[in-house]
Structure 1
């Protein structure tokens, strides 16, 4: 595909995004994925829904679809693709949202990159109703910028299509940024708990 054709395709997709937004589905977040996952997303315009497809990942906040609020906030490896996901933001705003800090200071235990069971146990300490459905948020892992955040949509919500998720992936950062290039203000949402401190690195 020529560079001109790729640009036209991105412009048309951006126009489609604006059109979809009028009907309640708007930009939700970004994700970098291997080509196999990108091929699935581009074929179905949906994220993975099978549990087996998530067993290969060791994700920050348990089993589910992890997104970031900044477009291409870090460089993917040469075989990785850059994706954007939209959702029904009215449903997202109505959902319960919780912070998953790096450390549970009540017991001084790490929470990031733990078993799903352990993360869910923490959520039940701050959410009494349907804790397994709560959207999970953390401060960014890859950057010192305070704006960077990560969201995890629980696998069950992805499987049930609770938020009318729609996705598209591109081969390069520049192609993604032609489609969407803005930081999403997730902090404006009501998120229960505290974000804690970013993990310190040497």
Structure 2
């Protein structure tokens, strides 16, 4: 596939896919408002999510498939919503291999915006949004049975923790089981207390998918 500048770009999945998995965790990276620059695996937003995948793998003890998606582009890109298209492509691959298994979506920043859009997709039972980009007018597909973890650094200057907390109230009002977790002293990059982020996400995902 070629981007608007004629460069070859591709989305991709990496991770562990055991044949006897009991559930699937799909990990989504962040980005920006606009940008058609290709996203290699070594780009910062992509690398930032690798420890989350590893923490989930360790906590689940091989019982979960844990895969990371690399988007084609850096940006959300307006009405094109390119990371949403990439995430839906990834979900199709997951359904092909693990039909009927529960799915957890874990996303940071722009990836957090993606997971809230896709919370109503077939098979999705768990949503983890880390410092999510929350916009007025975005879908809020909360429902009974949906398990949601919202984590946000209190000192985040890129996305607004107050919007994330308000999102949780909306989803809770629709019947979702919402956990709101502000992280004191941390910012958007989740670097001040990384072990807190990794541990709590891994515990939440494993408990949600392996019950």
Normalising TM by the smaller chain, what interval?
under 0.3
TM norm structure 2: 0.27
Q: Which has the higher contact order (CA 8 A, sep 6+)?
A: 1
The structure with the larger Rg is 1
TM-score (norm 1): 0.27
